[in-house]
Structure 1
C-alpha cells in the first residue's frame, strides 16, 4: 500500500471521531503546525504536515501527505477544510481532497447549513445528502476535539469522506501508560472503533491533539505518529 492510500485510510480512521463534551474556546489553538510520520509494519514510508489557523470565528486547515523513497513517485495528497468555529466546535463549510497524480479524482464538498444540504462533487459528478447537526469532514474531525474533548464511554457521529456521509461508533477509554513519541511523551485517551480496526490516541496534556493512529488493514499494521508541534 502506498503512502497516499495510507494517508487516506488514516484520515478516514480519524474521521470516526467527534465530540460529546464542551470545552473553553479560549483554550483552543489559534495557529498550529503538526507533523506526523506514516509507517507500515513499523517502517516509515511517508509524512504528513497539517497547518491550522483560527481567525476570529473562522478556521482553515491544510494537510499535505508525501511519500518517501519509492512511495514519493505516487505524488502528493492535499486535504483542506474551512468553516466556522461555532458552539465550541468546528463547523465545516468547504472541504477538498486532491491527489497530484489524479486531478480528475478530486472530491469537493460544500456544507449548506441553512438548507441542511451537503453538496458533493465526486470525480466530476454531483451528489447531495441531508446535512445533520455536528457533521464533520475528514480533516476538521482531527481538530474539533480541541474545542470539545471526548467524554463518556461511546461516541456516535456522521462524517463526510468526500463521497458520502457515514455513521461511526467509537469506544472511549483512558490509557494508563504514557505514549512516547518523537514530539514528546503524552498522557492519552484512546478511541477504538467498534470493529477493532482503528485506534486513535488523543493527548490530554496537549489539548486533545491527535498524536497517534493505528489502522489494521488486511493483516498489515499502519500508523500515523506525531513528530513535532509548533504554534499556539
Structure 2
C-alpha cells in the first residue's frame, strides 16, 4: 500500500483519544515524543515519529512517516498541526500534509472559528466547508483528548483530513488481556469504528495512550504499534 494512503488512513482512524488523562491543561504533558512501527501482514515497512509541544496556550504537533528498506523509495510524509489550547480542548488553526515525492499534492487547511469556516487548499485548488464545534484535524484529533476525555460508550467526532470533513463514531470496550509491545505491557481499552474495519487500543495505565491500531483494508491487515514513549 502506498505510504501516503496508509498514513492518512491510520491517522484518520485515530478519531478517539491519544492521551486521555484528566481534563485541564495542567495534567497534560508539555513535550511528548512517540514512535510507531507500521506493519502490513505482520511485516514492518515504515515508521512514524510524532512530536507534541505545548507552550502557554499554544500547541504544535509534527509527524513524520518514512518507509524502511525498499519502501524508502516512496519518500517521507509530514503532517503538522498548530493552534490554541482553549476551554479544555485543542482548537486547530492551521494544518498541513506534505509528501517529499509529490510536492504538488500538498494539503493545507485553515480553521476560521470566527466565521465557522474550514478553508482547504487541495492540490492548489481552494475548497471550504462549515466548521462544527470540536472539529479536529488529522493530528490534533490524536491529542485533543488529553484535555477533553471521551465520555460514555461511544465517541463521535468530526475530523478534517485535508480534503473534507468526515464524521467518526467509535464504540468503547475494555480488554481483559494486557497488550505486549516493544514499549512495554499495557492494560488497554478498545475503540472500534462503526465500519468495523478499524480498531484502536488505548493504554489505561499510560493516560490512554494509543499503543496499537489495526486496520483491515482490501483484505490486508495493517497495524501501527508503539515502540517508544518519551516526554514530560
Same fold (TM over 0.5): yes
1:208 is matched with: 208
1:140 is matched with: 140
Task: Provide the C-alpha distance between the structure 1 equivalents of 2:203 and 2:143, rounded to a whole number of angstroms.
Answer: 12
Distance 1:18 1:212, change over 3 A: closer
Task: Provide the C-alpha distance between the structure 1 equivalents of 2:21 and 2:117, rounded to a whole number of angstroms.
Answer: 25
1:22 CA displacement: 6.4
Contact 1:36 1:226 in 2 (8 A): yes
Q: What is the aligned residue count?
A: 231
| 3-state SS of 2:73 partner | helix
Task: Provide the C-alpha distance between the structure 1 equivalents of 2:21 and 2:59, rounded to a whole number of angstroms.
Answer: 20
2:62 is matched with: 62
Is residue 2:48 matched to residue 1:48? yes
Contact 1:2 1:71 in 2 (8 A): no
| 3-state SS of 2:13 partner | helix
1:201 CA displacement: 1.2
1:38 is matched with: 38
| 3-state SS of 2:101 partner | coil
Superposed CA RMSD in Å reads 1.6
Structure 2 unaligned blocks of 5 or more = none
Q: Identify the range of structure 1 (202-211 vs 159-168) with the bigger mean alpha-carbon deviation.
A: 202-211
1:193 is matched with: 193
1:158 CA displacement: 0.7
| 3-state SS of 1:151 partner | coil
Distance 1:111 1:18, change over 3 A: farther
Task: Provide the C-alpha distance between the structure 2 equivalents of 1:5 and 1:114, rounded to a whole number of angstroms.
Answer: 32
